[in-house]
A and B are shown apart, each in its own frame.
Chain A
């Protein structure tokens, strides 16, 4: 069995990089394809230069039922047989590898740029010479009488990040949506190499500013594992509170913007304000509404006293009451339900095939949640049940958020009540040399995956970030098929994906 060759790891378990098996590309291919067919997900798939003319492909497969990760690697030179035709969830990872290292996955059905930058190894871009121009590529085109094309972005109508959307329409009906991103590409992963340094934490906090706590958690857990450091129970608990406050703020905001996009202003207006109340609770703990400086390697940057805890519990109770009233209006207004139900349906089979994660997956009945399947930190002690719904439409994505809001509030209340005594911060040791570690965190959008490798000097030699948006953007494109183009904003908000988290 080829699968026995892969190394099996738990979430946040650091191993010597040398222990990761290197196999031939055919065996590698077979392993990933069979693993995906048996229900595992590709959590990360990336290339690292291994010699002047070769890169080493690493695949990290997540087995949600068993709660473990399998890692396998293979050396390739300028091309290899693509996995995508047999394993669709590899599609964007392979495009990314091709763009970064100019290694061609032969037979890839959709080989286009992801972020529009020059190759790190050969310097090639999408133009023969000069700068790379974003969204300069061949878009999928539908032809025929009465077919028309709509192009939107990168600058959009709202206060929102940039991206380009190309719709092929027949009348009002969208036959295909192609999403072209990369406008937010800042080159973070490259900047992390050689770290950690005084900027590293700030890169993590701004990978996706609305997921400051989520990405910083993934990074801190990784660094703590690489260095074999422990975090105190009190810090773990406070980190959990920070994670759930971030989820509360964003989920509440999303219920509001969903209401706004169908013109249902009461909930839009209420939730816009309540979202701020949750952000202010984070600021109560750390002074910043987005949790900057709260989660740090070795623990948390801020402690809470009894008065903070009392205020937090009181504010949570008030916010729950308010958001309950606001959400209840949604579920009891027929004009809202008429727009939410059966709009932008994603079937569970498609979810699994594309490897969707987070709220969109759970809204299609695919019960995956890192807090449950790959618990780390406080989630090993205080489990949060998975919230899911079965209809896969906008309604389901809204309703799962509402279910999660209630669970998160319960979780925080429990944590505040049972907050362990002790230190909030320990000085962490420097990372050990030659290590490999995968860190998974359930951010509010879904699974955040960070993979870190250290060189012989103990500095980061490679760092790979997968924001949940990276998995889910294709899910949005699929949700739009055969929908009215006027439903795009609604479907888009129901996913609410990150542009900068994907572009890095």
Chain B
């Protein structure tokens, strides 16, 4: 017992002071891309062609990036000699509507809080069931991390539960493979109303690297309605946490 207590002391207090403190992200972290169409050379479409998921569009010399498709591989930044696309260290990426995920140089509209009724129900206690529907276990792993002492998800009243019947909503990862479609529909139906759905990662939002493959469904909202989109491949745990807290109105 004494050994255990000494071990506990040795391991120290590790919970980060999010959302109050400034989170520490790796120096090379690739967060929200910043677009400056003014710098974009006329006639150049290198970034559009380099993007593995077709996330970048150029219409009448105006660039846009769909965060729902973006894998944050920075191929576009690498091939752009004009500096029109730069990946920033901004980890806040979650949005309520798919249209808000399309960046075109304007201020991004981050996720808004649930409506009054839903916030009253879920604002102080949200139980989620996680469903992996073809996810590669990276989004799953960085969701799981939220339950460790570093993020201590429980302090925000959010908890992952073992059954959809105990849950207020689903947190879904993966492009929704054909083989998981039925299981996802059944799990969604098993969650009592009212319920919310959260799509985490490029796969769950758009199909990600698997867009248009015959065995996948290009994302969760092809199957069930989605209330919150959290982009990334995979999203950083802070990106997921920020999205969840915005939805519950704990970050504004």
List chain A positions with a Cβ less than 8 A from chain B.
115-117, 131-134, 154-155, 157-162, 182-187, 191, 198-199, 201-203, 205-210, 212, 266, 269-270, 272-273, 276, 280, 283-290, 292-293, 302, 321-322, 325-326, 328-329, 332-333, 498-500
**Interface code B23-43, partner A: CB below 8 Å = 1, 0 otherwise?**
000111110000000000000
B141 neighbours in A (Cβ, 8 Å): 209-210, 290
B213 neighbours in A (Cβ, 8 Å): 186-187, 191
Q: Is B28's CB under 8 angstroms from A286's CB?
A: yes
Q: Does B97 contact A (CB under 8 A)?
A: no
Q: Is A206's CB under 8 angstroms from B28's CB?
A: no
A283 neighbours in B (Cβ, 8 Å): 26, 28-29
- Closest Cβ of chain A to B56, distance in Å, is 12
Q: Does B80 contact A (CB under 8 A)?
A: no
A287 neighbours in B (Cβ, 8 Å): 26-30
Closest to B30 in A: A287
Interface class of chain A by DSSP: loop
Q: How far is the CA of A191 from the CA of B208 in the complex (A)?
A: 14
Q: Is A183's CB under 8 angstroms from B150's CB?
A: no
Q: Is A162's CB under 8 angstroms from B150's CB?
A: no
Closest to B164 in A: A155
Q: How far is the CA of A22 from the CA of B233 in the complex (A)?
A: 43
With contacts A185-B179, A276-B150, A287-B26 taken as known, whether A161 is within 8 angstroms of B140 at the C-beta atoms is yes
Q: Which of B3, B51, B234 contacts A332 (CB 8 A)?
A: B3
Q: Is A290's CB under 8 angstroms from B7's CB?
A: no
Q: Does B162 contact A (CB under 8 A)?
A: yes
Q: Is B177's CB under 8 angstroms from A184's CB?
A: yes
Q: Does B182 contact A (CB under 8 A)?
A: yes
A184 neighbours in B (Cβ, 8 Å): 132, 134-135, 174, 177, 179-180
Closest to A153 in B: B183
Residue among A131, A184, A187, A208 having the largest count of chain B Cβ atoms under 10 Å: A184
Closest to B25 in A: A283
Q: How far is the CA of A289 from the CA of B147 in the complex (A)?
A: 17
Q: Which of B50, B132, B179 contacts A182 (CB 8 A)?
A: B179
Q: Which of B73, B133, B160, B174 contacts A293 (CB 8 A)?
A: B73
- Segment at the A interface, from B8-16, B58-66, B113-121: B8-16
A134 neighbours in B (Cβ, 8 Å): 179
Q: How far is the CA of A202 from the CA of B74 in the complex (A)?
A: 12
With contacts A287-B28, A332-B3 taken as known, whether A117 is within 8 angstroms of B75 at the C-beta atoms is no
Interface size of B in residues (CB-CB distance below 8 Å): 66
Given contacts A162-B180, A198-B75, A498-B137, list 11 more A-B pairs with CB under 8 A: A155-B131, A157-B162, A159-B143, A183-B183, A199-B53, A202-B53, A202-B73, A206-B138, A209-B136, A326-B11, A500-B136
Closest to B7 in A: A325
A212 neighbours in B (Cβ, 8 Å): 138
Closest to A270 in B: B11
Q: Is B187's CB under 8 angstroms from A187's CB?
A: no
Q: Which of A155, A269, A272 contacts B187 (CB 8 A)?
A: A155
Q: How far is the CA of A284 from the CA of B30 in the complex (A)?
A: 12
Q: Is B209's CB under 8 angstroms from A199's CB?
A: yes
Q: Which of A159, A186, A322 contacts B11 (CB 8 A)?
A: A322
With contacts A160-B132, A273-B150 taken as known, whether A500 is within 8 angstroms of B73 at the C-beta atoms is no
- Closest Cβ of chain A to B230, distance in Å, is 15
Closest to B31 in A: A287
Q: Does B194 contact A (CB under 8 A)?
A: no
- Enumerate 25 A-B pairs (CB-CB under 8 Å) in ascending A order: A115-B179, A133-B182, A134-B179, A158-B130, A159-B143, A162-B132, A183-B177, A184-B179, A185-B177, A198-B75, A202-B71, A206-B203, A208-B137, A212-B138, A273-B148, A276-B148, A283-B26, A284-B26, A285-B28, A287-B29, A289-B236, A302-B28, A322-B11, A498-B137, A500-B134
A154 neighbours in B (Cβ, 8 Å): 180, 183
Q: Is A159's CB under 8 angstroms from B130's CB?
A: yes
Q: How far is the CA of A198 from the CA of B150 in the complex (A)?
A: 36
